[in-house]
Chains A and B, each alone.
Chain A
Amino acid sequence: MKRSELLTFTASSIYCPSADIHIDPWKPVERAIITHAHSDHAKWGCKHYLAHKDSESILRMRLGPDISLQTLEYGESFTINGVNFSLHPAGHIIGSSQVRVEQQGEIWVASGDYKLQDDLFCPPFEAVKCHTFITESTFGLPIYKWKPQHEIIDEIKAWVLQNKLQGKNSILMGYALGKMQRLIKNLQPFDQPVFAHGAIYNVNEQLRNAGFDLPYVPPVYNANKNDFQGALIFATGSVLNTPWLKRFEPYSTGYCSGWMAIRGAKNRKSIDRGFVLSDHADWNELNTAIDATGAEKVYVTHGYTDTFARWLNERGIASAEVKTMYGEEEESLTETTEA
């Protein structure tokens, strides 16, 4: 008799029946392993959480200081009911982890969100050999191919400088958690005053207090209008088309996201500049990562699921699409993430 699958896809999570534990549940459950602290993967209301130690400060900030949270190092493992669990770097954001699950020699890896490019802030992705791999497919089309990070960083620096010379402030937008720390880390040292939107300031300070090496970026709310002259302001995408921006006039807006690879996506947002910088794997990275796992079976979650699964099948890797609730991250361009 064939025993049940090591991991299953339920109406609320990726679930391990043998250990009765959920991975990134989108409904409250008893025990949850959290791959990373983005809001579509780390939901409120579970009884016990388990995550990488670098996720702790943000998880407590977002889900409550008193949540029951156990943390692990990368590579550290524990066993429940004969099932062995361990976390491995996913390279997506600080603390992001792939969850390796092993029972009697059979290995599954749930990768959450990941990227292969080293962003020089969070530990880079490590391929984990497995039989079954669960992959995202946010950018699972061959039109998405990222340039090296340093090229994008140079583009941003040139844009900021040009704005400064024209007497404009630069409003650089992206996710508060992950993208912004990556930008701050790689754009420093700064040749102009810098400020952060409150949401970003909070994340930064949380991480700095937890010991991460990030420069101090003062919050916008403590500054005067006079301070905003040729300044660089880190903001979330939610400020677009709001009066919050008024104090920075004249300014230019830039948005950092993988979606910016497509002209239409950039134009729809009515922003001045799109920078193609993503914390997700591009087309080549997805394929490289899957090959590196040696997996014979791949489940494809959030993104271009059906397309990417079909592509893998045609390449001879048994693959199926899976419906989850991931991919609805804060500020995500929901119209472009239709599964």
Chain B
Amino acid sequence: MKRFTNLFLELDRTTKTNDKVALLKAYFLSAPDEDKLWALALFTGRRPPRKIKTAQIQEWAIEQAHIPMWLFRESYGSVGDLAETISLILPANTSTAEKTLSEWFAYFTQLNKATDEEKKQLIIAAWKQLSTYETFVFNKLLMGSFRIGVSQTLVVRAIGEVSELSSAVVSHRVMGQWDPYLTSYKELIYGENSADTTSKPYPFYLAYGLEGKLEGLGKPEDWFAEWKWDGIRSQVIVRNNELYIWSRGEELVTDKFPELESLKTQLPSGTVLDGEIVCYENDRPLPFNILQTRIGRKNVTKKILTEAPVAFIAYDVMEYEGHDVRQKPQEERRKILEELFDQTEIKGAFKISPLLTFHEWDDLKNLHLQSREHAAEGFMIKRKQAHYLTGRKKGDWWKWKVDPLSIDAVLVYAQKGSGRRAELYTDYTFAVWENDKLIPFAKAYSGLTDAEIREVDRYIKQNTIEKFGPVRTVKPQLVFEIGFEGINESSRHKSGIAVRFPRILNWRKDKKLEEADTLDNLKGILKAYK
């Protein structure tokens, strides 16, 4: 545990990529295989679920610390992280533990069958042997909330370098479904295990936002352009007559979309497609918030299937006739995709993302303005010679998104942030005018610089009208330009409107309170884009 805690702390201390890779390499060179497997699972977001109710852990911690609940809450408010707060209030450890990371996970399995009292004894016994930082990591693991600022790409690179495998190979091997309780590091990294290779997805190729002008890309004839769909990026795999659908978050979501079941017969075995799942009706994608009503639901009901039917819009092919075709140029892959599509007799929920016709960059610029009418977020621009790469890479794939919709709104409520921003007011609620009243319509967290955050924080602390628990009502005065991606009617919001991905674009210091937008302005945007 010490080794892993140190790795965690040292990774936390540096923002430099090379340092992070060096730390990871040192870890993967020196840790026992059992630990490496768990570390890999944690770094790739495969954290085991929470073992114990958070409320219980909290209760036992304050009992150990001999402090009242309200004081714990105050402390939590200052730290902003539950696992960290608990690690700080607990009395210092009385002994030290020699258990490794994997041994602690084995320890966790005892919790499965334990009574509440036994659980309590197990947890307290662990706390008594762990240092403050170790306790912090332990709590994160226990609560299923372990996160770290290291991308999967870096972990893959480090493992690749220490195991002398290419990044692409490692990347592929760590994808898909595997369970650190059931597999071993050797099997995972060095062995091919046939049972899960059937379902194993390829790493997605991710695009960067377009930098500079379109003309900078060179000749228009070297490029494809298509709409950028606003749905769930997905990979459809048909192998051995089985269908697997993976989301970009590496979640197997096959069961969530029964409409796509037919792809199993529509596509030949040995096919892997890249595309977007969107809600679709009358030959037209529906706004993302309709899709949102389905995500996260445990059961897909009949009602959902009629109200929010989905389709899969394919735009690339990674495997064809059982062969990895990612190294073929985009142009050739497109041909294969079109053939696959044409061979399908009844298309149903299977769609293909059309290529846009353009001769000059200016054609594309004009077309871009129509993005919203096509329910698209803008364009994807892909070089005809592009290979299908791994991860976020510059050069061959670019996304060109439409400018967000925006409105000037007034800051009315504020709440403290968490983590890095625990002591600062960083979560804001914004309102627009309706007659002489301010109606809240959106919450936004990001978009200001650190210096601006401090300035707004100071304003909030000096201009609080009321406190409701953690929320402060602020004297209305500050006006911000709020950008958002989509807008819809909502019966759950007081304003009658819900906006998607709201964020602060600008602090409009030049605007007076009275100059903020009105609810009617918002409704106008709603009308225009519905």
Which A positions have Cβ atoms within 8 angstroms of B?
A: 141-145, 261-265, 267-268, 272-273, 304, 307, 310-311, 314, 335-336, 338
Query: Please, could you name 16 A-B residue pairs with CB atoms under 8 Å apart, sorted by A?
Result: A141-B74, A141-B78, A142-B67, A142-B71, A143-B85, A143-B89, A144-B88, A145-B88, A262-B79, A262-B422, A264-B79, A265-B423, A268-B424, A268-B450, A273-B13, A338-B461
User: How many A-B contacts at CB < 8 Å in the complex?
Assistant: 66
Closest partner residue, chain A, to B423 (CB atom): A336
Q: Which of B70, B74, B81, B89 contacts A264 (CB 8 A)?
A: B81
Closest partner residue, chain A, to B65 (CB atom): A142
The reply on B14 being an interface residue by CB < 8 A is yes
Taking a contact as CB atoms under 8 Å apart, the answer to whether B422 and A264 are in contact is yes
User: Which residues of B lie under 8 Å from residue A311 when comparing CB positions?
Assistant: 71
Using A262-B78, A264-B80, A338-B423 as known contacts, list a sample of 12 further A-B pairs with CB atoms less than 8 Å apart, ordered by residue number in A: A142-B88, A144-B88, A145-B92, A261-B88, A262-B84, A263-B81, A263-B420, A265-B422, A267-B419, A273-B13, A335-B457, A335-B458
Shortest C-beta distance, B310 to chain A (Å), equals 40
Taking a contact as CB atoms under 8 Å apart, the answer to whether A264 and B12 are in contact is no
The reply on B493 being an interface residue by CB < 8 A is no
The reply on B153 being an interface residue by CB < 8 A is no
The reply on B68 being an interface residue by CB < 8 A is yes
User: Which residues of A lie under 8 Å from residue B457 when comparing CB positions?
Assistant: 335
Taken residue by residue from 201 to 235, chain B's Cβ proximity to chain A (1 for < 8 Å, 0 otherwise) reads as 00000000000000000000000000000000000
CA A145 to CA B84, docked complex, whole Å:
13
The reply on B368 being an interface residue by CB < 8 A is no
Shortest C-beta distance, B331 to chain A (Å), equals 45
Given the contacts A304-B74, A336-B423, A143 and B13 also touching, CB distance less than 8 Å? no
| Chain A binding surface, main DSSP class | helix
The reply on B421 being an interface residue by CB < 8 A is yes
Closest partner residue, chain A, to B67 (CB atom): A142
User: Which residues of B lie under 8 Å from residue A314 when comparing CB positions?
Assistant: 68
CA A59 to CA B269, docked complex, whole Å:
84
CA A86 to CA B461, docked complex, whole Å:
38
Taking a contact as CB atoms under 8 Å apart, the answer to whether B75 and A267 are in contact is no
User: Which residues of A lie under 8 Å from residue B424 when comparing CB positions?
Assistant: 268, 335
CA A36 to CA B65, docked complex, whole Å:
34
User: Which residues of B lie under 8 Å from residue A310 when comparing CB positions?
Assistant: 70
User: Which residues of B lie under 8 Å from residue A335 when comparing CB positions?
Assistant: 423-424, 454, 457-458
Closest partner residue, chain B, to A143 (CB atom): B88
Taking a contact as CB atoms under 8 Å apart, the answer to whether A264 and B88 are in contact is no
CA A104 to CA B454, docked complex, whole Å:
49
Shortest C-beta distance, A163 to chain B (Å), equals 12
Q: Which of A144, A145, A264 contacts B420 (CB 8 A)?
A: A264
Which B positions have Cβ atoms within 8 angstroms of A?
A: 12-14, 65, 67-68, 70-71, 74-75, 78-81, 84-85, 88-89, 92, 419-424, 450, 454, 457-458, 461
Shortest C-beta distance, B105 to chain A (Å), equals 23
CA A261 to CA B133, docked complex, whole Å:
11
Shortest C-beta distance, B375 to chain A (Å), equals 39
User: Which residues of A lie under 8 Å from residue B74 when comparing CB positions?
Assistant: 141, 304, 307
Q: Which of A143, A268, A272 contacts B79 (CB 8 A)?
A: A143
Taking a contact as CB atoms under 8 Å apart, the answer to whether A272 and B85 are in contact is no
Taking a contact as CB atoms under 8 Å apart, the answer to whether B78 and A272 are in contact is no
CA A338 to CA B414, docked complex, whole Å:
15
CA A141 to CA B65, docked complex, whole Å:
12
Taking a contact as CB atoms under 8 Å apart, the answer to whether B88 and A268 are in contact is no
Closest partner residue, chain A, to B424 (CB atom): A335
CA A268 to CA B74, docked complex, whole Å:
20
User: Which residues of B lie under 8 Å from residue A336 when comparing CB positions?
Assistant: 78, 423
CA A261 to CA B75, docked complex, whole Å:
12
CA A145 to CA B85, docked complex, whole Å:
12
User: Which residues of A lie under 8 Å from residue B420 when comparing CB positions?
Assistant: 263-264, 267-268
Taking a contact as CB atoms under 8 Å apart, the answer to whether A272 and B423 are in contact is no
Shortest C-beta distance, B130 to chain A (Å), equals 15
CA A335 to CA B451, docked complex, whole Å:
11
User: Which residues of B lie under 8 Å from residue A338 when comparing CB positions?
Assistant: 423, 461
User: Which residues of B lie under 8 Å from residue A265 when comparing CB positions?
Assistant: 422-423
User: Which residues of A lie under 8 Å from residue B79 when comparing CB positions?
Assistant: 143, 262, 264
CA A304 to CA B88, docked complex, whole Å:
17
Q: Which of B12, B68, B454 contacts A263 (CB 8 A)?
A: B12
CA A307 to CA B420, docked complex, whole Å:
22
CA A273 to CA B9, docked complex, whole Å:
10
Q: Which of A145, A264, A307 contacts B423 (CB 8 A)?
A: A264
CA A247 to CA B461, docked complex, whole Å:
38
User: Which residues of A lie under 8 Å from residue B85 when comparing CB positions?
Assistant: 143
Closest partner residue, chain B, to A307 (CB atom): B74
User: Which residues of A lie under 8 Å from residue B89 when comparing CB positions?
Assistant: 142-143
Shortest C-beta distance, B206 to chain A (Å), equals 26
CA A314 to CA B450, docked complex, whole Å:
38
Shortest C-beta distance, B21 to chain A (Å), equals 15
CA A314 to CA B70, docked complex, whole Å:
11
Taking a contact as CB atoms under 8 Å apart, the answer to whether B13 and A141 are in contact is no
CA A141 to CA B72, docked complex, whole Å:
9
Closest partner residue, chain B, to A264 (CB atom): B422
User: Which residues of A lie under 8 Å from residue B75 when comparing CB positions?
Assistant: 141-143
Shortest C-beta distance, B410 to chain A (Å), equals 23
CA A310 to CA B71, docked complex, whole Å:
9
CA A262 to CA B75, docked complex, whole Å:
11
Taking a contact as CB atoms under 8 Å apart, the answer to whether B421 and A264 are in contact is yes
CA A264 to CA B457, docked complex, whole Å:
16
Shortest C-beta distance, B7 to chain A (Å), equals 15
CA A141 to CA B424, docked complex, whole Å:
17
CA A263 to CA B147, docked complex, whole Å:
14
Closest partner residue, chain B, to A338 (CB atom): B461
5 shortest interchain CB distances as A-B pairs: A143-B88, A264-B422, A267-B420, A143-B75, A336-B423
CA A314 to CA B68, docked complex, whole Å:
9
User: Which residues of B lie under 8 Å from residue A264 when comparing CB positions?
Assistant: 79-81, 419-423
Shortest C-beta distance, B308 to chain A (Å), equals 39
User: Which residues of A lie under 8 Å from residue B67 when comparing CB positions?
Assistant: 142
User: Which residues of A lie under 8 Å from residue B421 when comparing CB positions?
Assistant: 264, 268
CA A336 to CA B421, docked complex, whole Å:
10
CA A95 to CA B75, docked complex, whole Å:
32
Shortest C-beta distance, A241 to chain B (Å), equals 10
CA A164 to CA B349, docked complex, whole Å:
62
CA A338 to CA B461, docked complex, whole Å:
8
Q: Which of A142, A307, A336 has the most CB of B within 10 A?
A: A142
Closest partner residue, chain B, to A314 (CB atom): B68
Shortest C-beta distance, A336 to chain B (Å), equals 5
Taking a contact as CB atoms under 8 Å apart, the answer to whether B84 and A263 are in contact is yes
Shortest C-beta distance, A149 to chain B (Å), equals 16
CA A284 to CA B454, docked complex, whole Å:
31
